[in-house]
Structure 1
């Protein structure tokens, strides 16, 4: 953690190298130490103040800032940066981002390397000959202004609260992760892992009390008993001018306080054993804290508890079979397990057979009832169909009778019409006795043929007359 220090210098003796009056009071504020990462940059936040600064500023034509390395004496060999002469020694680039006319001397050193670790002093020059001074503390045991420490690997992020922190179930949990940002132009990125699904995260770059900056990430979520002993990790990744970025991580184990959960019973060796077997019932439950857990055992049908403790063991007899359950309790609450059935081998099979038999009988009854109602409905439908068919047959018979009656009437009318008188004519003059007369061998009577023409309603008939 970077610490800040306010550097106040009171100089009452004039010096050849420092141009100021004995009444001048001046001081600079900057961090005592800053940590930089190789291949990255480092920003030194810096502000200063001198007595009658506004008056001096009105008299000056230029204000310049100078950074001296290793020594506070203003000598050419110690100058690392001079804004007036654009001098940069030992660095690829140095930029004064603060406005000196506003008492801001903040400076960024780029592409920091290991050999840049040293003490650095700030000097202010207001020309022409208005004010010149190197800001350094006047403590006899310390001559430092700011110490730059360059490291190859960044410091792990700081995660709060630590693993000793405990929260109650269903309360809001606040976790914060902060990573130093010595180079605000290339700040680290922060990521979280193994976090609850309901977590809400916000991340921003913040300034600390010593004016250095850090990336701050804040996460909130509602604690669940399933979050107990959850390892939540915060990872900071630092970009830099090397082949790979630097990644560091910090984890915290969350401790959630909650009453018993998921309480259940385990039977060893099994729930169905023979008489004389030694069985053990174990009450399992999740709770926090768990060191003060109590377990109480009950048997179905009995109001009073039968035992205390996480486990109970006994020899199975016909009298101690039945349903058992346990109640787990800690200082935050309690929970009862589901009942578990302990039976003797054979009884369970008989019990299942009874259950299956009753179920089968019920299903058979339902099936037979359905078939019976189906048959009744089908029979009724068939009878209705037969009645409808007979009615249709009777109706067709009546229609046939009416049709036959009509046919008979027509025939009778026709017959009656045909039964009328027909008149015929007989022409005896046309009778010939020649070949029309035939005599048998006994000269018997002769047969005379006559042709009779009958006229009646366009009908002609030939009648053979026999004498």
Structure 2
């Protein structure tokens, strides 16, 4: 009987223990979400996103303790709330950014050194208060650890332009860079533009990876053609990288190359035509004046000529007809025998000596 009673007591004890363990460490309820690999820029910082679940549900932060350690050496701790337990090489460089009461175990490491390659794992300690002597119950998420890929040169920013630059029209170009330090993101600067023309945004790409963008929108002018547009990224810790593009500014589409020559030709033709009209009019006026002057002179000369003719006709002597004009039957001697013996010798000289 005693044996049976002892078996029953042991069975009840183990059932109660299993029930308690199932409540606290229930199968399938412990878990963590941690990226397996991240890029870490030496001298900058890195933020490891981390969330976890546990069967106890939501517990106050004071009853939870988060620990980060090397994957194969749990005693080599890189973060602990008791700083005396942290490895000397990680002291004052690690900080738990998440609130354990909200199941957030995010860790920041700054600055990154070239030996911080990991892998690093997270372990949770749950302090139970239902016992006479509270002792923490620990659970290590050894299957969810992160390893760093060390970067010794800063990532180069990328430049994106959706369309070509046109003179006098808004032009947009985007500079973006990827990083793993969202608490101290890189700053992006331009060789053109003002603060009012620049918009900056930060967005998460996936677990632990972020992208910072600087969007520049300005109106290019003619002098911007063939100039270098440069975006410079300055990372936390002082690392710098840049990327440039040559800005080609298209002229505003117009017909000036046609309108201007045509307008010049038409203007020249109009001016030349007006000049010709004025010259023709001037010469016509001159010719008319000359014609009037010539007509009046001719009239005066004609009148003078007629006057002279009249004077000459009055002062000239009468002329006798030529003897040749008399008919042959005419007898000159008979005329002389008429008793008139006067002979004008002057008249005889007119017709020659007889």
Q: How does 1:1-12 map to 2 (within 5 A)?
A: none
Q: How does 1:39-50 map to 2 (within 5 A)?
A: 39-50=43-54
The answer to whether the 8 A contact 2:180-2:208 is kept is: no
Question: Secondary structure in 2 aligned to 1:105?
Answer: coil
Question: Secondary structure in 2 aligned to 1:118?
Answer: coil
Listed as ranges, the gaps of 5+ residues in structure 1 are: 1-13, 138-143, 265-326, 328-335, 342-350, 359-467
Deviates further, 183-192 or 40-49: 183-192
Q: Paired residue for 2:65?
A: 64
Question: Secondary structure in 2 aligned to 1:234?
Answer: strand
Q: Paired residue for 2:42?
A: 38
Q: Paired residue for 1:107?
A: 107
Q: How does 1:83-122 map to 2 (within 5 A)?
A: 83=81, 86-89=84-87, 90-93=89-92, 94-122=94-122
Q: Which whole-Å CA distance do the structure 2 matches of 1:198 and 1:215 have between them?
A: 16
Q: Paired residue for 1:133?
A: 139
Question: Secondary structure in 2 aligned to 1:338?
Answer: helix
Structure 1 residue 200, shift from structure 2 partner:
0.5
Q: Paired residue for 2:241?
A: 248
Question: Secondary structure in 2 aligned to 1:101?
Answer: helix
Q: How does 1:296-445 map to 2 (within 5 A)?
A: 327=258, 336=259, 338=261
- Picking from 179, 182, 189, the partner of 2:180 is 182
Could you say if the C-alpha distance between residues 96 and 199 of structure 1 is closer, same or farther in structure 2, counting changes exceeding 3 Å?
A: closer
Q: How does 1:204-283 map to 2 (within 5 A)?
A: 204-210=201-207, 212-222=209-219, 230-240=227-237, 245-254=238-247
The answer to whether the 8 A contact 2:172-2:216 is kept is: yes
Q: Which whole-Å CA distance do the structure 2 matches of 1:261 and 1:92 have between them?
A: 67
Structure with greater helix share of residues: 2
Q: How does 1:123-202 map to 2 (within 5 A)?
A: 123-128=123-128, 132-137=138-143, 145-161=145-161, 165-166=163-164, 172-195=170-193, 200-202=197-199
Q: Which whole-Å CA distance do the structure 1 matches of 2:181 and 2:138 have between them?
A: 29
Question: Secondary structure in 2 aligned to 1:25?
Answer: coil
**Cα-to-partner distance string for 1:350-380 (whole Å, 9 max, x where unaligned):** x9xx9xxx9xxxxxxxxxxxxxxxxxxxxxx
Structure 1 residue 99, shift from structure 2 partner:
1.0
TM-score, normalised to structure 2, is 0.54
The answer to whether the 8 A contact 1:43-1:107 is kept is: yes
Structure 1 residue 46, shift from structure 2 partner:
1.7
Structure 1 residue 255, shift from structure 2 partner:
5.8
Listed as ranges, the gaps of 5+ residues in structure 2 are: 1-17, 129-134, 265-271, 280-354
- Over the aligned positions, Cα root-mean-square deviation in angstroms equals 4.1
The answer to whether the 8 A contact 1:198-1:222 is kept is: no
**Cα-to-partner distance string for 1:308-354 (whole Å, 9 max, x where unaligned):** xxxxxxxxxxxxxxxxxxx5xxxxxxxx563699xxxxxxxxx9xx9
Question: Secondary structure in 2 aligned to 1:145?
Answer: strand
Q: Which whole-Å CA distance do the structure 2 matches of 1:198 and 1:339 have between them?
A: 45
Q: Which whole-Å CA distance do the structure 1 matches of 2:195 and 2:30 have between them?
A: 53
Q: Paired residue for 1:75?
A: 74
Structure 1 residue 185, shift from structure 2 partner:
4.9
Could you say if the C-alpha distance between residues 118 and 110 of structure 1 is closer, same or farther in structure 2, counting changes exceeding 3 Å?
A: same
Could you say if the C-alpha distance between residues 257 and 84 of structure 1 is closer, same or farther in structure 2, counting changes exceeding 3 Å?
A: same
Q: Paired residue for 2:284?
A: none
The answer to whether the 8 A contact 1:208-1:214 is kept is: yes
TM-score, normalised to structure 1, is 0.42
Q: Which whole-Å CA distance do the structure 1 matches of 2:204 and 2:84 have between them?
A: 29
The answer to whether the 8 A contact 2:173-2:215 is kept is: yes
The answer to whether the 8 A contact 1:120-1:148 is kept is: no
Structure with greater strand share of residues: 1
